Structure 1
C-alpha cells in the first residue's frame, strides 16, 4: 500500500475556489495545513473563501483568473510563484454547465463551455506541470463529473467536456507514471452547489422549460459541498487515481461498467417512473 500523501506544508492551486466544491476543497486543505493559491473570476467569493481558510501559519493568495483566457493562464504560474516558493498540487475545479440538446445548443455556446471545462484544464495542466515536476511529491487533480461516466440526453455538450477531461487525465497519468507527479480524476455526483441555477440555457429556449429543467436538476444535488470537499481531499491523501463523490456517482459508475451501451435505457425508464 502506497504511503499517504502528506499535505501539511505543501502548496495547492485551486481554481473555481470562490464557491461550491472549490471552496470546500480549499477549506479542507487549509485544515490539513496546506498553503493555498486561490483562483476564480469572482473576487468577492475568493475573499470569502480566503477568510474561511485563513490560519496564522498559512500563506493564502487570491488571484482573479478566467481559465478560458489562454494568455492569463500562461502568466498565472509566475503570479503564484511570486507569492509561494513552489506548487505541489493543482486542483482544476473551475467549470460551468450548459443545458439543452445538441440541436438546441449553438456552436458558440458549445465552444464557450469547452473553453472553460476542457481547455482550461489542459492549459493549466501544461502551465503548472514544470512546477509540479520540481516537487518531490506532487498531484494534479482534475474535476470531471458523473457526466464523465454517463451521458444523458439534454447534456451532450457538458458530458462531452467531462468525458474529455476524463480521457485527458487518464492518458496523462499513464505518461507521468514513474515520476513524482500523480494524476487524479474526480467524478462528483449530485453535489449541492449553484451549478444548476447558474447553468447557461440555449438561446431561444422557452423560459418555462428552462426553469422546469433547472428545478428538476437541482433536486438531484443533495450532497453538501463540504462533504464533497472532504471526500476529494481524503482521496488525494490516499493517492487515489479516480475519486467517485457520492453514492449516486458510485452507482452510475457501476451501471456504466455493467451496461456500457444500454445504461440509459435502464436509467431513463427508472427516472421517468
Structure 2
C-alpha cells in the first residue's frame, strides 16, 4: 500500500498545548499538514501555534476539555468553520493518577477515565463522520507502555490505557475496508510534564509524593520531538501499532514471552541497572 501523503491534509490533535501533542503538531506541519490544536491550556496552545507559524499551514486553536461531553460534541462544527474537513484525529490528551488502588479515591479514578478513555471515545464518535468523508483518513489513539504492562501503583492509569488499546483494536477491525485506518501508539518514557501534573491520593506525605514524581521523571528520557516524529512517520507508513522508544520495545517483548511473570523480570533488570550505575 502506498504511504499516506500528509501535505494539504488536516489533522486535529488533543493535548496539543505541550509534550507529545506539540511535537505531533510540529512534525505534521513540517510535512505541510494543516492542524487544529485542542487543549485546556490556552497559553500552551498559543505557544504551539507560534512554533508552527513558519510552516505556512492553516492553524486553528480550540480550548477544549475532552471530559466535557457538550464541548466535544460542539467541536466538529468549530473545526469545520476553520478547515475544509478532517483527515487525521490524534487522541493524545491524557493525565495520570499515582498510588495503589486501595488508596486512590473513586473520584480520582473516574476523573482519569473521563479524560484518558471516555475522552478518546467521545472524540472518535464526534469526528467519525468527518473522517468517513475523507478519501484517506487515520485515527491515531495514544495508549502507553502501561497499556502493555500494569505496574503496581498504576491501577487507574494502566486500566485506562488498556481500555484505549482494546477500543482501538476493535475499531480497526470494524473499519477494515473503509477509508479510515487506525494506528495505536504505545509510548514509553517520553520527556513530558505528565509526572509533574499527576494526582496522588489524598493524605499522601508531600515528601513521599515528591520522591515518587522524581523517580518517574527519571524514566521519561525520550525527547518529545523524537516521539512525535516516530509517530507521524508510522502514520505515513500506515502502521497499525507503534512502540515508541527502546523501553517500550523491550518491555513489549518481555510481556509477550512472560505474560504473567513479566513484572518480576522487569524488577530484576531494573535492580541490575541500578547496581551497575
TM-score (norm 2): 0.97
Query: Gaps (5+ residues) in structure 2?
Result: 273-277
Q: Report the alpha carbon displacement of residue 209 of structure 1 after superposing the two structures with TM.
A: 1.2
Whole-angstrom distance in 1 between the partners of 2:106 and 2:239: 36
Matching residue of 1:90: 89
Whole-angstrom distance in 2 between the partners of 1:158 and 1:271: 21
Matching residue of 1:78: 77
Q: Report the alpha carbon displacement of residue 56 of structure 1 after superposing the two structures with TM.
A: 6.1
SS at match of 2:194: coil
Whole-angstrom distance in 1 between the partners of 2:43 and 2:208: 32
Establish whether residue 194 from structure 1 lines up as the match of residue 193 from structure 2.
Answer: yes
Q: Report the alpha carbon displacement of residue 100 of structure 1 after superposing the two structures with TM.
A: 0.3
Q: Report the alpha carbon displacement of residue 57 of structure 1 after superposing the two structures with TM.
A: 3.3
Establish whether residue 231 from structure 1 lines up as the match of residue 230 from structure 2.
Answer: yes
Matching residue of 2:62: 63
Whole-angstrom distance in 1 between the partners of 2:270 and 2:247: 13
Matching residue of 2:219: 220
Q: Deviations over 1:55-77 (max 9, x none)?
A: 46311000000000011000001
Cα RMSD after superposing both structures = 0.8
SS at match of 1:33: coil
SS at match of 1:240: coil
Residues 19-58 of structure 1 mapped to structure 2, 5 A cutoff = 19-55=18-54, 57-58=56-57
Residues 226-265 of structure 1 mapped to structure 2, 5 A cutoff = 226-265=225-264
Q: Report the alpha carbon displacement of residue 271 of structure 1 after superposing the two structures with TM.
A: 2.6
Q: Report the alpha carbon displacement of residue 205 of structure 1 after superposing the two structures with TM.
A: 1.1
Whole-angstrom distance in 2 between the partners of 1:196 and 1:149: 19
Q: Report the alpha carbon displacement of residue 272 of structure 1 after superposing the two structures with TM.
A: 4.0
- How many positions carry a matched residue from both structures? 272
Whole-angstrom distance in 2 between the partners of 1:203 and 1:171: 36
Q: State whether residues 165 and 184 of structure 2, in contact with CA within 8 Å, keep that contact through their aligned partners in structure 1.
A: yes
Whole-angstrom distance in 2 between the partners of 1:56 and 1:104: 47
Whole-angstrom distance in 2 between the partners of 1:209 and 1:269: 23
SS at match of 1:253: helix
Q: Deviations over 1:149-168 (max 9, x none)?
A: 00000001000000000000
Whole-angstrom distance in 2 between the partners of 1:205 and 1:73: 34
SS at match of 1:266: helix
Hey, which of these two has a bigger chunk of helix by percent?
2
